[in-house]
Amino acid sequence: MLNFEVMTLFPDLVRSGCQTSILGRAQNHGYIHVGVTDIRDYSGNRNGRVDDYPYGGGAGMVMQPGPVVRCFRDVKARCSGSLRVIYVTPQGQVFHQKMAEEFAKEDNLIFLCGHYEGVDERALEAIVTDYVSIGDYVLTGGELPAMVMIDAIARLVPGVLGNRESAEFESFHDNLLEYPQYTRPEDFEGRKVPEILLSGHHANIDRWRREQEIRRTLERRPDLMEQADLTEEDRRTLRRLKEEQ
Ligand code: ADE
């Protein structure tokens, strides 16, 4: 059981996003839990205000440290076992599959979603263990990045994916992209399913699929090729494909 806790000013967005599809089912079956806490409930004032002007001037508003830290203390009290506190920010390390695998081993992951121009630095110093970005672009808030990470991490938790959705054969297995998939009909508007997939010859099909993985990675993500886990036969295939290019 992995416990995700999200500290946010937009709890409905996070709740609805995590209740649907595989994440919803995983929660119902008790493989994960997603707790959502509204930072505004910790404002300490009647109008629920949690932001203020930046010291030193400048544009935008800053989330005050008090509500964030009070909220965190309450959330933390609900957690037992190992715990990481992730601040989602474009200033963080860029999220990737290996990071998802590491996070999936923890007992509790607390996500702090920022808004406005940011969060008072002292709150971050006090509570954050990891600064993580989902890519080099800027969004309006941390909710979507937190949900992206929760999705990527949750599917690695044992039980979350059924056999049919198994995480084993997929993109980034061996650091290669996945081979193309086909289902019925055999002929779609004149485009035919590759003959070999209809042959019933499993060894040939496996070899063909492996070649497709290497071909795809070479064409679409050549930057991944350097980290790919290739066998001797894979390397021969790669040399041949490069000569064809
Ligand atoms: N908040 C705003 N933009 C973000 C990004 N790219 N990654 C993580 N958090 C963010």
Domain containing residue 233: CATH number: 1.10.1270.20
The pLDDT > 90 percentage for the chain reads 92
Beta-carbon contacts of residue 78 (< 8 Å; ≥ 6 apart): 5, 35
Distance 70 CA to ligand 1 centre (A): 23
Find out whether the beta carbon of 64 lies less than 6 Å from any atom of ligand 1: no
- One domain, residues 134 and 176: no
- One domain, residues 55 and 86: yes
- One domain, residues 149 and 195: no
Strand-strand pairing, 130-133 and 108-113? unpaired
- One domain, residues 32 and 97: yes
Whose CA is closest to atom 5 on ligand 1? Answer: 90
Helix residue ranges per DSSP H, the chain = 11-19, 21-28, 65-77, 97-103, 121-127, 143-154, 202-220, 222-225, 232-244
Residue 189 DSSP one-character state: T
Distance 13 CA to ligand 1 centre (A): 16
Q: What's the domain count of the chain?
A: 2
pLDDT band for position 21 (cuts 50, 70, 90) = very high
Residue 163: inside a domain, yes or no? no
- One domain, residues 193 and 83: no
The pLDDT > 70 percentage for the chain reads 97
Residue 180: inside a domain, yes or no? yes
pLDDT of 168 reads: 57
Kindly report the pTM of this predicted structure.
0.93
The Cα 13–Cα 162 span in angstroms is 26
- One domain, residues 233 and 140: no
- One domain, residues 136 and 212: no
pLDDT, tens digit (0-9, with 9 covering 90-100), for 98-134: 999 999 999 999 999 998 789 999 999 999 999 999 9
The Cα 235–Cα 98 span in angstroms is 24
Q: Ligand 1: which atom is nearest the Cα of residue 137?
A: 6
* pLDDT over 60 at 50, yes or no: yes
Within 13 A of 145's CA, how many CA atoms are on the CB side?
30
Whose CA is closest to atom 9 on ligand 1? Answer: 89
Closest CA to 225 of 152, 180, 168, 172: 172
pLDDT band for position 152 (cuts 50, 70, 90) = very high
* pLDDT over 70 at 166, yes or no: no
Find out whether the beta carbon of 88 lies less than 6 Å from any atom of ligand 1: yes
Whose CA is closest to atom 2 on ligand 1? Answer: 139
Choosing from 91, 138, 140, 150 the residue with most ligand 1 atoms within 8 A of its CB, the one to mutate for a pocket test is 138
Find out whether the beta carbon of 139 lies less than 6 Å from any atom of ligand 1: yes
pLDDT of 199 reads: 98
Structural domain for 185, as ranges: 169-244
Find out whether the beta carbon of 113 lies less than 6 Å from any atom of ligand 1: no
Residue 159: inside a domain, yes or no? no
Mean pLDDT of 145-155: 98
pLDDT of 215 reads: 97
Closest CA to 127 of 65, 172, 170: 65
Residue 27: inside a domain, yes or no? yes
127-141 CB burial, b ≥16 within 10 A, e <16? bbebebbbeeeeeeb
